[in-house]
Amino acid sequence: MSNRISSAYNTYSKMLNPAFREKVEGIIDQWEREFYESMPGAQDMLDPDKFSIDFYKRQTIETILRIGLKRAVDPLIANYWATRDPVLCKQWGLYGAEEGLHTQMFAKDLIKIGMTEEEIYGTQPTFATELLNGYFYYTMETEGPLAAMVSGFYLETIASRTQPNWLDAIERHIDKSATKGQRAHLQVDEVDEHADMVWNMIMRVIETPEDEQRFLHHMVKINALFQAYFVEITSMMMKGEADQVQVITAATRMNQKHQHIAEEHVG
């Protein structure tokens, strides 16, 4: 498109497998509603009166760390498709290369409020993030890169739904010049239609109902691990440390609960 602002632009003229996309969006709709209704602390992210600078810093740091960790996974995805689907190899390679540098957008925002690169990149990832990345490598070895690809779609979709409202609340306390990088990140995703682009890249290799079930299987687990991350970071803010047993318990509970929701939508 003529107004593209990234190198990983969407070259697809139409959405692939739109019926399945509608089902997937319905599942994410329900998960999002439940997150705000039942997850302790979730509503606080929309309430400017509940703003916590420590939570904001740690949340943004974790975003940077997750992008950096995924930067090592995306070339493996492209390499997997090199001899199987060269077009997909090129498309994912461009997408992964661009996404991997988005750490800079978020880091610049933190630096503007007084943090250093040493503080940002010297932070250890949360246990939930370690589990998520371990899941990518495990599934890559046992079945291929679908889980890591589904994560790309999930994150693009969730970010477009949640971050604008979170930033609106944050900017009541922090000057907009210090959220410029995150706003720019959202603009790249919106203008170049990253959620649709990643969806279409994945749909190139989703051919059967069994493939669709596998897509959902991975999306359920990824969502469970991200919600477990929220439990972990909230606990860190309240207690100064996180209980790893609590993280595993939250992930297991969310996985079981949301598997039923996915089955209801596609059953």
Phi-psi region of 193 (alpha: psi -120 to 50; beta: other; left: phi over 0): left
Task: Report how far Cα 267 is from the mean position of its chain's Cα atoms.
Answer: 26
Cβ-contact 242, 232 below 8 angstroms: yes
The low-confidence residues of the chain, meaning pLDDT below 50, are 1-2
Cβ-contact 235, 229 below 8 angstroms: no
In this predicted structure, what is the pLDDT of residue 22?
A: 95
Q: How many CB atoms lie within 10 A of CB 263?
A: 13
In this predicted structure, what is the pLDDT of residue 4?
A: 58
Spatial CA neighbour of 24 closest among 118, 157, 163, 113:
157
In this predicted structure, what is the pLDDT of residue 5?
A: 61
Report CA torsion sign: 72, 77, 80, 83: negative
In this predicted structure, what is the pLDDT of residue 2?
A: 41
Give me the count of residues in the chain. Answer: 267
In this predicted structure, what is the pLDDT of residue 228?
A: 94
